[in-house]
Chain A
Amino acid sequence: MSSTTTRKFHKDRGLVARMYFTMVMLGFLYAVFALFLLASGTPLIFIGGIVGVMLVVQYYMSDRLILMSTGAKQVSAEQEPALHRMIKTLADRYEMPMPKVAVIDTAIPNAFATGRNPKNALVAVTTGIQQRLSERELQAVIGHELAHVANRDMRVLAIANFLVTLTSFLMTMLFWNMLFGGMGGRRSNGGGGIMMVYLVTIVVYFIGQLLVLALTRYREYGADHTGAEISGDPGALADALEKISGTVAKIPDKDLRKLQTANAFLIIPAALKGQGSMNLFSTHPPLQERIKRLRELEQRMRYGLR
């Protein structure tokens, strides 16, 4: 990762350390895997060719691919003056060029940013999120998305994702190879050897996925943090997340006196449930955890606590 731009915000150091650790682990894993493939006799040119093509496609086409797949339509300053003005103000604060702006026509509240670097960035919001959030909250959400661009998260994740995609491709290829007895002039290697390759590929793929997901989560916290430092208002994003996730709507209309059996002996420790293992697999950290961290940051900024 290059960090040529001067930044007015400092990073969360622990977070950065964990991100680099994950990246190093990922790199190490793929190096081992490549050696293993090489040792098993897969043609080198074949591997290299696929790597090259996929890397180029993913790196340079990703914004267009995303636009196509989400139905986002790029909008001009004339079409969406308020949105453009808001994004321009934020981009100036991040000291980055004005990104492209797109709108997705759906009631589902969401927003994303893409682009391999700040010069090629695109920010998209849904009409649903525009309607539902206040200006302060929408600003916080877009600030979070621009933080992803400033931190070059798309590049990092594109590379990490690419490596996992490559592995899965090779896995399929090897499986095919195993079933139909080799492609090209490969020497027979014995069923046991191929079985080993196959098993190792699965394990590598699985661990790779977990590492990419962990990386994504750290990036998410990082963008929350950066966005909050730029805006100076961490509470705004917390409010927006609460509103979008609909957690607030869960608070009932019901009066406690309508509860029929208040039984003091039946204690359901609902205040105390564990989080479960879903955490490990989800790309975004649990909302509660993100909101909690933002609220802590809010307190620290408000009272100057450390």
Chain B
Amino acid sequence: MGWFGGSKAPKSDWSALSTVIKAEAKLQSLGEITPSRRAGIIYRDSDDNAFLQDIETELNTALYQGVGATKTAFEIKDDDRGMRWIVLDDGKFDDLVSSVYTVGNAINANGAGDKLLAAVFELYFTGTVEDNTYRSSLCTYWIYRYDRRAFYPFVPTGESEGDRDRPTEARLGSDLRRHGLIVEKSLTEWMGLWGIPF
């Protein structure tokens, strides 16, 4: 973010993903955000890819072995729209972000980068929402799209497609951008994920 409105494209998933750590810390210190322990990576499963076929073993290696392993708990879930989720659980937000990166990076390195759709962080937001009432612990998702290398907030209000609190999302989005998160500028790309399985 500069004075002239121009900023550079993130060079890697890490340079984009890591901005969530600072933004989350800042908003948490202001009392607006409480992270849940959960995050998920959604991807399209493929029979042709050996890594994806053996995902449990591969994740055990990626997350539990070696120096500095985050040892984040994980679970594989299929949703009702034909997608597979790796649900991560970690009480330390920094580790949760690292693990999301590690998993995505491993999938990418094993030739399935084009199967990755998004990484989703679950956080509780405290603030004024659409109908101008103050809500504490409103469940929000911060979606990171791999194809755009950018985040956007998602606040579903129901299970069916299109049920979302747009004004709150817009407000949260500008809040997050101000605190350093790389936020998707084109609002038409802020596509939702209804029925997140965690």
Complex CA distance for A295 and B161, rounded to whole angstroms: 29
Q: Are B9 and A269 in contact (CB under 8 A)?
A: yes
Residue A56, interface by CB 8 Å? no
Nearest chain A CB to B145 CB, angstrom units: 7
Residue A13, interface by CB 8 Å? no
Partner of A242, one of B161, B170, B183: B170
Among A75-83, A116-124, A243-251, the stretch in contact with B: A243-251
Residue A187, interface by CB 8 Å? no
Residue A235, interface by CB 8 Å? yes
Given the contacts A247-B187, A250-B188, A253-B162, A264 and B170 also touching, CB distance less than 8 Å:
no
Given the contacts A262-B146, A271-B149, A256 and B117 also touching, CB distance less than 8 Å:
yes
**List of B residues within 8 angstroms of A303 by Cβ:** 30
**Interface size bucket, A side?**
35 or more
Q: Are A239 and B167 in contact (CB under 8 A)?
A: yes
Among A3-11, A17-25, A192-200, A272-280, the stretch in contact with B: A272-280
**List of A residues within 8 angstroms of B193 by Cβ:** 255-257
Q: Are B108 and A264 in contact (CB under 8 A)?
A: yes
Q: Are A251 and B169 in contact (CB under 8 A)?
A: yes
Nearest chain B CB to A134 CB, angstrom units: 7
Q: Are B175 and A271 in contact (CB under 8 A)?
A: no
Chain B CB within 10 Å, residue with most, of A248, A251, A272? A251
Nearest opposing residue in chain B for A243, CB measure: B167
Complex CA distance for A265 and B146, rounded to whole angstroms: 9
Residue B49, interface by CB 8 Å? no
**List of B residues within 8 angstroms of A263 by Cβ:** 114, 147
Q: Are A256 and B174 in contact (CB under 8 A)?
A: no
Residue B118, interface by CB 8 Å? yes
Q: Are B150 and A271 in contact (CB under 8 A)?
A: yes
Residue A53, interface by CB 8 Å? no
Residue A259, interface by CB 8 Å? yes
Q: Are B81 and A292 in contact (CB under 8 A)?
A: no
- Report B139-168 residues with CB < 8 Å from chain A CB: 143, 145-150, 161-162, 164, 166-167
**List of A residues within 8 angstroms of B81 by Cβ:** 255, 257
Q: Are B114 and A270 in contact (CB under 8 A)?
A: no
Instruction: Give a binary string over A218-244; 1 marks a CB under 8 Å from any B CB, 0 the rest.
Output: 000000000000000001001100110
- Report A267-306 residues with CB < 8 Å from chain B CB: 267-275, 291-292, 295-296, 299, 303
Partner of A272, one of B8, B118, B147: B8
Partner of A251, one of B9, B30, B166, B175: B166
- How many chain B residues touch A (CB < 8 A): the figure is 52
Residue B189, interface by CB 8 Å? yes
Q: Are B132 and A134 in contact (CB under 8 A)?
A: yes
Nearest opposing residue in chain A for B152, CB measure: A251
Complex CA distance for A265 and B111, rounded to whole angstroms: 12
Residue B68, interface by CB 8 Å? no
Instruction: Give a binary string over B1-34; 1 marks a CB under 8 Å from any A CB, 0 the rest.
Output: 0001111110000000000000000000010000
Complex CA distance for A60 and B112, rounded to whole angstroms: 71
Q: Are A259 and B117 in contact (CB under 8 A)?
A: yes
Residue B191, interface by CB 8 Å? yes
Chain B CB within 10 Å, residue with most, of A136, A258, A266, A272? A272
**List of B residues within 8 angstroms of A274 by Cβ:** 4-6
Nearest chain B CB to A250 CB, angstrom units: 4
Residue B53, interface by CB 8 Å? no
Partner of A247, one of B8, B44, B170: B170
Complex CA distance for A273 and B150, rounded to whole angstroms: 13
**List of B residues within 8 angstroms of A239 by Cβ:** 167, 171
**List of A residues within 8 angstroms of B162 by Cβ:** 253
Residue B60, interface by CB 8 Å? no
Q: Are A252 and B188 in contact (CB under 8 A)?
A: yes
Partner of A270, one of B5, B150, B167, B169: B150
Residue B135, interface by CB 8 Å? no
Complex CA distance for A242 and B165, rounded to whole angstroms: 14
Given the contacts A271-B148, A272-B9, A251 and B170 also touching, CB distance less than 8 Å:
yes
Residue B138, interface by CB 8 Å? no
**List of B residues within 8 angstroms of A296 by Cβ:** 178
Complex CA distance for A249 and B164, rounded to whole angstroms: 11
Q: Are B148 and A259 in contact (CB under 8 A)?
A: no
- Complex A-B, nearest 7 residue pairs according to Cβ-Cβ distance, in ascending order: A253-B162, A269-B9, A250-B187, A264-B113, A271-B150, A256-B191, A275-B5
Chain A residues packing against B (C-beta within 8 Å): 134, 136, 235, 238-239, 242-243, 247-259, 261-275, 291-292, 295-296, 299, 303
